[in-house]
A and B are shown apart, each in its own frame.
Chain A
């Protein structure tokens, strides 16, 4: 068990407000990821981190920023939320399994932007 906790699990906000989602891990994994999941699109990578203060963009990074000031925490921020950012957000960590790297996911954060 990778011990991944996401908070909040559910949030309803209004267009234009800032939102921060938190991902916390307990096992010191180097790589952490933020994905969003929408019907018909599967999981799409927003940003990922490969160490403290080391982050990079994914395929749908516009409108999102991230920060990783400690190994265990990876924050996703929507500076000014839009309705198109209504989605389920998943945090994940990468770890070795059966000769490859695989992902373990958190339980998800459901965000609704009105």
Chain B
């Protein structure tokens, strides 16, 4: 059983469209991170959120941590082909060094 559920699993959109990826759990996390992975490479950290209700922006990407620290969302505005990749959420629990990953969202942005 996956501790973190991500949706959708696959997403194919046209360049310029907006999208939202969700990461949900019934468990509370001390922090939550979003990673992006390209084929043949390891995941790379995009952002970490720590406080319930926190919103962080990274250019066209907006990340939100749920008030209860159980869920998070990633919103991309005006998607570009360079946004194509696998997006993974991960929650930290315990001492903050135990990480649990979602199943990932594979995003394809068509030019």
Q: When A and B form their complex, what is the total count of cross-chain residue pairs whose Cβ atoms lie within 8 Å?
A: 67
Q: Known interface pairs A42-B88, A105-B44, A107-B41. Does A100 touch B97 (Cβ–Cβ under 8 Å)?
A: no
The docked-state distance in angstroms from the alpha carbon of A40 to that of B40 is: 17
Chain B residues within 8 Å of A106, by CB: 42
Pick from A33, A41, A102: contact of B45, CB under 8 Å: A102
Residue of B nearest to A92 (CB): B42
Task: Identify which of residues 38-63 in chain A touch chain B, using a CB-to-CB cut-off of 8 Å.
Answer: 40-45, 48, 50
Question: Is the Cβ of A43 less than 8 Å from the Cβ of B92?
Answer: no
Chain B residues near A (Cβ < 8 Å): 2, 6, 9, 30-31, 33, 35, 40-45, 47-48, 50, 88, 90, 92, 96-97, 99-104
- Beyond A31-B97, A94-B99, A102-B45, 20 additional contacts (C-beta under 8 Å) are A42-B88, A43-B43, A43-B88, A43-B90, A43-B101, A44-B101, A45-B100, A92-B42, A98-B48, A98-B50, A100-B92, A100-B96, A101-B31, A101-B96, A102-B33, A103-B33, A103-B90, A105-B43, A105-B44, A108-B40
